[in-house]
Chain A
Amino acid sequence: MDLSSINPALLLASLLVASTPILIAAIGELVVERSGVLNLGVEGMMITGAICGFAVAVETGSPALGFLAAAGGGAVLALLFGLLTQFALANQVASGLALTLFGLGLSALLGKDYVGIKPPPTPRLDFGPLSDIPYLGRILFSHDLMVYMGLALVAAVWAMLKYTRAGLVLRAVGENHDAAHALGFKVIRVRLMAILFGGACAGLGGAYISLIRVPQWTEGMTAGAGWIALALVVFASWKAGRVLLGAWLFGGITVLQLNLQAAGVKIPVEYLSMSPYLITILVLVIMSADRSRAPASLGRTFQASS
């Protein structure tokens, strides 16, 4: 056992990277759920984003265009969900699950010609002398743009929900769609926009995996990250700041577990790989002491009684 071989700065730095995909996807889903819609298709949208981003980045040579395409791809799939649930008034749980099935199939078909290719590299941001600060430089100033975008996104969503009129409308729609409708808000329009935003975020999260985290395309490569993102939203009890915390916890435990193993610490690996999930349940129990709860209209179908 040699704990000294674990460098805390490196550990924290890799934690930031490991948590980014689920963070971005979760913050999008949070907005969706705050509008009163439950979209269980995050995994499907992530994997679609992963292949759209990968394919476009490879074809154009530009990771930036790739990420743009990933957001687009995720949003298009989300639109499908939006049409189903908002216009055809279909059940949201079932539609979301169907979306995942569809997305996994679609991505596999789209990705057939992209197996085994290396995408163009996404550069790390250059912070000049900042990166050379001992400790902090490695933790904070050594990443690619998307890591910071993820953090910025969390801040933006937090501020939007708390301080802006748009956030107020979103929450109103999510809490009581009939009242919001009576006040003259366009419930369906608001929800559709939230759904599209959620899809775009999921797409970005997926592309982060295929373009930066792993850089490659393989079928089913998101391997359940979408489900984790969904879990995060509930874990965070629909609060933006806590999503960040949750993402670090999830990313953190896996990274820590692997680091401990590599350091030769005798740990029951098979139990430790279950630990993020057990800890989530534990934290959830503790947090349910405070009375934050789901948006009241979550998952319920809205139909204007004109």
Chain B
Amino acid sequence: MLKLEKRPQPSRLWTYLTPPFAVLITMIAGGALFALLGNDPVEAIRTIFWEPLFGEFAFYYRPQLLVKGAPLVLIAIGLSLGFRAGIWNIGAEGQYIVGALTGAGVGLAFYPMESWVIFPLMVLAGALGGWAWAMIPALLKVRFGTNEILVSLMLVYVAEGLLAKMALGLLKNPEGFGFPGSRNLQQYPSAHNAEIIAGTGMHWGVLSAFLAVIFAYVLLNRHMLGYQIRLTGEAPRAARFSGVNPARIILVCLGLSGALAGLAGMFEVSGPSGQVSIDFNSGYGFTAIIVAFLGRLHPVGILAAGLLMALTYIGGEIAQSNLGLPAAAIQMFQGMLLFFLLAVDMLTNYRIRFKTAEAA
């Protein structure tokens, strides 16, 4: 009989082996799915994983991986801090939207003035906006013990309403003939989150994502606060006895994740996206939750997971336009990849043993 046995400590070997292993199984299962839909499975898999990295137009797609992955990583890093402390911010999507609104709002308020201070102010406003939106569930939790999962999730819908309101009202482009949507920030140099080095995809948001990874790594491994966060998640009682203030941890974790999500939204609206529109948000806040877990809540893992997710998105798009694979099949494929990654994770922490009948 098969039996799982917990390893005394996670296996190092399997920590590195499981992700490629999961990707391999996904390729097989996904290939079967694509074959079932009447596509050449080898070609489809090659298009998704190979084309963006080493294909004919890789010079364009490689930077795009950074552009697509950066907001995911930025948000996921913030979320992972909270998740480690057992604080469940499910509403990063809302904080992302509000950060984009406040960031863009500040930029648009200065239009058409040109000054170098505008962009830093927008960055600040974006972070503050996301922070403030996350403070609502944080304060309610600290003050009333209200569940933060629900409050942060509800605030996503409120933020979406706010976004529609802003795109149709206050932030609407006055020269837009009454159409919804703000001015294009890409055409407003002082507010444009442009590429730092042209052609690399490296805009300020990407840089911030890398900085956030380093920051989180140092925080968790070298800093007292990081230790307290981990302790709160792993042993809440012990944390309290050793003098950790749970309210402070809640405020810090939710605040940080909100600020990072707000930053991500602000960098997106002032850079790749360019304008506030009714459907500006495209689910980064939710996808980032998956990225955080795929990266096992570890900063470096999150970076890798974010890039992997970006790869499946971009590769999936190429497969859709080149091979005519339906978008739904790509979505299923991503779901499968996540399933397998989660499933084989077990091998890291557990050992599979055959038990003989007498021992059972």
Contacts and interface: CB of A to CB of B under 8 A. Distances in A.
Given A109-B329, A278-B158, A94 B294 contact: yes
Contacts of A137: none
Interface stretch (A85-93, A118-126, A127-135, A207-215): A85-93
Interface stretch (A95-103, A169-177, A195-203): A95-103
A98 B346 contact: no
A101 B158 contact: no
Contacts of A89: 4, 346, 349-350
A105 B293 contact: no
B150 A105 contact: no
A109 B39 CA distance: 14
B158 A274 contact: yes
Contacts of A112: 326
A97 B157 contact: no
A270 B294 contact: no
Interface string B1-14: 00110100000000
B116 interface: no
Nearest to B157: A277
Interface in A231-285: 231, 234-235, 270-271, 273-274, 277-278, 280-281, 284-285
A217 B41 CA distance: 29
B55 to A, nearest CB: 24
A284 B289 contact: no
Max count, chain A CB within 10 A of own CB: residue among B161, B165, B350: B161
Q: Is the interface of B mostly helix, strand, loop or mixed?
A: helix
Given A91-B293, A97-B286, A285-B144, A303 B6 contact: yes
A149 interface: no
Contact of A90 (B146, B150, B161, B345): B345
A280 B154 contact: yes
B151 A90 contact: no
Interface residues of A, number: 44
Interface stretch (B184-192, B259-267, B268-276, B335-343): B335-343
A108 B150 contact: no
B335 A84 contact: no
Contact of A274 (B146, B161, B335, B342): B161
A105 B339 CA distance: 14
A106 B6 contact: no
A219 interface: yes
Given A88-B342, A89-B4, A90-B343, A108 B147 contact: no
Given A91-B293, A105-B335, A84 B151 contact: no
Q: Is the interface of A mostly helix, strand, loop or mixed?
A: helix
B151 A98 contact: no
Contacts of A234: 147, 149-150
A277 B342 contact: no
Contacts of A288: 144-147
A249 to B, nearest CB: 12
A109 B326 CA distance: 8
B116 to A, nearest CB: 36
Interface string B114-150: 0000000000000000000000000010001111011
A108 B164 CA distance: 27
Contacts of B349: 89
B290 interface: yes
B357 interface: no
Contacts of B153: 227, 230-231
Contacts of A90: 342-343, 345-346
B155 interface: yes
B150 A98 contact: no
Contact of B342 (A95, A106, A303): A95
A91 B341 CA distance: 11
Interface in A15-32: none
Interface string A218-232: 010000000100110
A98 B338 contact: yes
Given A84-B343, A231-B150, A98 B290 contact: yes
A284 B150 contact: yes
Contact of A273 (B147, B149, B154, B161): B161
A126 to B, nearest CB: 39
Contacts of A277: 154-155, 157-158
Contacts of B294: 94
B285 to A, nearest CB: 11
B200 interface: no
B201 to A, nearest CB: 25
B332 interface: yes
Contacts of B165: 270-271
A241 B345 CA distance: 38
A139 to B, nearest CB: 29
A112 B290 CA distance: 27
Nearest to A40: B90
29 contacts: A88-B343, A90-B346, A93-B88, A93-B293, A94-B289, A94-B342, A97-B286, A97-B290, A98-B339, A101-B290, A101-B331, A101-B338, A104-B328, A105-B330, A105-B335, A106-B332, A107-B328, A108-B331, A219-B328, A231-B150, A231-B154, A270-B168, A271-B161, A271-B165, A274-B161, A277-B158, A278-B158, A280-B150, A306-B3
Given A105-B335, A306-B3, 7 more contacts: A91-B342, A91-B345, A95-B339, A106-B335, A231-B154, A270-B161, A281-B146
Interface of B: 3-4, 6, 37, 83, 88, 140, 144-147, 149-151, 153-155, 157-158, 161-162, 164-165, 168, 286, 289-290, 293-294, 326-336, 338-339, 342-346, 349-350
A-B pairs with lowest CB-CB distance, top 7:
A102-B335, A105-B331, A108-B328, A105-B332, A94-B293, A98-B338, A90-B342
